[in-house]
Structure 1
Amino acid sequence: MLTIYQSDTQGALQEVNQFKKGCWIHLTHPSDEEKQRLISELNIDLDFLNDALDEEETARIDKENGQVILFVEVPISQKEGDKEIYTTVPLGIMVTEDYFLTVCLKETDVMKDFVQGNVKNFYTHMTTRFVLQILFRTSNYFLQGLKRINKHRENLEISMRKSLKNNELLSVLAIQKSLVYFSTALEDNSLLVERLLSGSFLKMYDDDQELLEDVKIEMRQAIKTTEIYSTILGNVMNGFSSIISNNLNHKVKLLSALTIIVTLPMIIATYYGMNVKLPMQDHPQAFNIIMILSATITIGTALLFWKKKYL
């Protein structure tokens, strides 16, 4: 979908039909016709559009022929089976003297905030501020996603303490995958911001310095939070792995002890089942004596194992 926006003199965002100087062109999962329109009317490079629509594209910044091209990794959530996975999608940004172009494969909450007027001091013609505001909102949504991930982890931890099932382990793996996606994306975005600070790509204005500092703080906080949650999740998994191993050892020990207890009377019964002359075979109380002997050995062995806490 291709949509064109432009801020009026009051700062309100208006949707327009034609490309104008200072407008914002936003593409979400564009059709071939929409891409062809940009190529023919604005001379947009097809490679830029294809890169922006490539899910594997990483964050980077370049400058070609007076055009600044950025790729920012934006957080999204999606379903993988019955599990919710937090991942990222590349957002392509092209800044020129006449327009501001954004291209994304999916609709994101970051760009919805701009369309719905949730971003203060937003003007389509203030391109440097627009880029910084996108980076700030992106970092903010990373933090929000991390909070939801951590809350989900806490709920899973409580469930795992009561009953450890495969479904809960799969949910933990989904969280682990989300944290890996976030960690990689944040590192790439951080490198992009560092290159942006050099001032060789976009002109930095004094009014945007505070916003730039906010972007750096939000980015560092998101990276640190991801590291902390990854460490916590790793410790939780190691702890439950030790519990599972300990429980398994206890059950194996219990089964081994029960096998020994049952085997001892079976040995006596097997011995007296042989068709040869045996001690006490002519004794009138032979059967009772053998039963008492077997019971004594069984009870004695069971008490010994109980004392040693094998049972």
Structure 2
Amino acid sequence: MRTYLYCEAGFVEKPQWQPNCWINVECPDAGDLKFLTQELKVPESFLTDIADTDERPRTESEENWLLTVLRIPMQSTQNGIPFTTVPIGIITNNEITISICYYHTEIIPDFITYTRRKNLIVKSKLDLILRLIYSSAVWFLKYLKQINNDVTAAEKALERSIRNEDLLQLMKLQKTLVYFNTSIRGNETMIGKLRSIFQEPESLNEELLEDVITELRQAYNTVNIYSDILTGTMDAFASIISNNVNTIMKRMTSISIILMVPTLIASFYGMNVDIHLDQMPHAFAIIVIFSVILSALAFFIFRKIKWF
């Protein structure tokens, strides 16, 4: 699906393409790809690169076209991972600006709505790229807050009962933080490359550039903080699980020893030999009481050394 957006105090959708407009393509189909390659003459290699889920942030030029690949966050349901990052390609030349993403995300619609609400004027293609990077950093922070809430909920669940499902959820959240960390660093590196490409003073908004760098650094620091906290939490629960296993094993060993005492006595007196108690009245009761006393003594000793 493609939309044609023209900046008029915010991006306004147009029914058809016109020069100097922004073409946003989301989840492109065969018709969209044909329009880009045949009518706009976009290199097919660019479209192939953007389709790669693992494509890293980078910039590449071919003839008069410039491809800029960024990583943006999105909600995910694959493999139970709540959030992931996907590539978005921004293809530009002197007259055309195209953004292509093979996934449906919340960032682009939110960005368009924001420009309309703030009546923003996007003056150049670098301005658009920087604002998209800024918007991605905002969404990184927004998703990080949700991840922090999920971690807190999982911790509370683990405090009540340690279940494999809760531990696996923490591991999936840790994977998400790794994806976020790598993508944010890649986007931050792209800023330096874009500054070297767009060196004209009139095309570089220093104030916007500073805001983008600040927001990315905040997102990067937040990811590192949450990652360190989650790593510490995982290590703590791993120690708790190991300690619980040791406690259970000690108790099981104590119970086995306590039960072994009467079993051992019964084995001795169950042998087919003269035990000099067959003529004694109440011999069975005496043996049972003796076994109970020894078992109680063993229980007292284990209680004393805190094995129970």
Which TM-score bucket, shorter chain as reference?
over 0.9
The equivalent residue for 1:6 is 6
Match of 1:222 among 219, 222, 234: 219
Match of 2:136 among 118, 125, 138: 138
Match of 1:113 among 105, 110, 130: 110
With over 3 angstroms needed to count, the CA separation of the structure-2 counterparts of 1:231 and 1:141, relative to structure 1, is same
With over 3 angstroms needed to count, the CA separation of the structure-2 counterparts of 1:23 and 1:202, relative to structure 1, is farther
Report the Cα distance in structure 1 between the residues aligned to 2:282 and 2:105, rounded to whole angstroms: 88
State whether residues 59 and 73 of structure 1, in contact with CA within 8 Å, keep that contact through their aligned partners in structure 2: yes
Task: Report SS of the residue matched to 1:116.
Answer: helix
* Residue-by-residue CA offset, 1:183-212 (whole Å, 9 max, x unaligned): 1111211111122233x2464537711110
The equivalent residue for 2:55 is 57
Report the Cα distance in structure 2 between the residues aligned to 1:206 and 1:50, rounded to whole angstroms: 29
Report the Cα distance in structure 1 between the residues aligned to 2:199 and 2:18, rounded to whole angstroms: 21
The equivalent residue for 1:262 is 259
Report the Cα distance in structure 2 between the residues aligned to 1:115 and 1:107, rounded to whole angstroms: 15
With over 3 angstroms needed to count, the CA separation of the structure-2 counterparts of 1:44 and 1:123, relative to structure 1, is farther
State whether residues 2 and 28 of structure 1, in contact with CA within 8 Å, keep that contact through their aligned partners in structure 2: yes
Q: Structure 2: which amino acid aligns with 1:215?
A: V
* Residue-by-residue CA offset, 1:24-58 (whole Å, 9 max, x unaligned): 11111111122112212111101111212221211
1:84 positional shift:
5.0
1:18 positional shift:
3.6
With over 3 angstroms needed to count, the CA separation of the structure-2 counterparts of 1:231 and 1:248, relative to structure 1, is same
1:272 positional shift:
0.9
Q: Structure 2: which amino acid aligns with 1:3?
A: T
Task: Report SS of the residue matched to 2:138.
Answer: helix
Report the Cα distance in structure 2 between the residues aligned to 1:194 and 1:223, rounded to whole angstroms: 16
1:274 positional shift:
1.1
With over 3 angstroms needed to count, the CA separation of the structure-2 counterparts of 1:56 and 1:196, relative to structure 1, is same
Stretch of structure 1 that moved more, 47-56 or 85-94: 47-56
- TM-score, normalised on structure 2? 0.93
Report the Cα distance in structure 1 between the residues aligned to 2:199 and 2:77, rounded to whole angstroms: 37
State whether residues 128 and 204 of structure 1, in contact with CA within 8 Å, keep that contact through their aligned partners in structure 2: no
Match of 1:167 among 152, 165, 168: 165
Task: Report SS of the residue matched to 2:205.
Answer: helix
State whether residues 11 and 115 of structure 2, in contact with CA within 8 Å, keep that contact through their aligned partners in structure 1: no
Tell me the C-alpha RMSD between the 2 structures. Answer: 1.9
The equivalent residue for 2:293 is 296
Task: Report SS of the residue matched to 1:274.
Answer: coil
Match of 2:76 among 68, 75, 78: 78
Residue 307 (str. 1) matches residue 300 (str. 2) = no
Task: Report SS of the residue matched to 1:197.
Answer: helix
Q: Structure 2: which amino acid aligns with 1:98?
A: E
The sequence identity of aligned pairs, in percent, is: 33
Q: Structure 2: which amino acid aligns with 1:88?
A: T
* Residue-by-residue CA offset, 1:69-88 (whole Å, 9 max, x unaligned): 1000010011136x452101
State whether residues 4 and 23 of structure 2, in contact with CA within 8 Å, keep that contact through their aligned partners in structure 1: yes
Match of 2:284 among 243, 265, 287: 287
State whether residues 23 and 124 of structure 1, in contact with CA within 8 Å, keep that contact through their aligned partners in structure 2: no
Match of 2:150 among 152, 156, 159: 152
Question: How many residue pairs were aligned?
Answer: 307
The equivalent residue for 2:207 is 210
* Residue-by-residue CA offset, 1:91-128 (whole Å, 9 max, x unaligned): 00012111111000112222112333446354465212
* Residue-by-residue CA offset, 1:211-263 (whole Å, 9 max, x unaligned): 10011111111111111111100100111111111111111101101110110
The equivalent residue for 1:29 is 27
- TM-score, normalised on structure 1? 0.93
Report the Cα distance in structure 2 between the residues aligned to 1:121 and 1:269, rounded to whole angstroms: 92
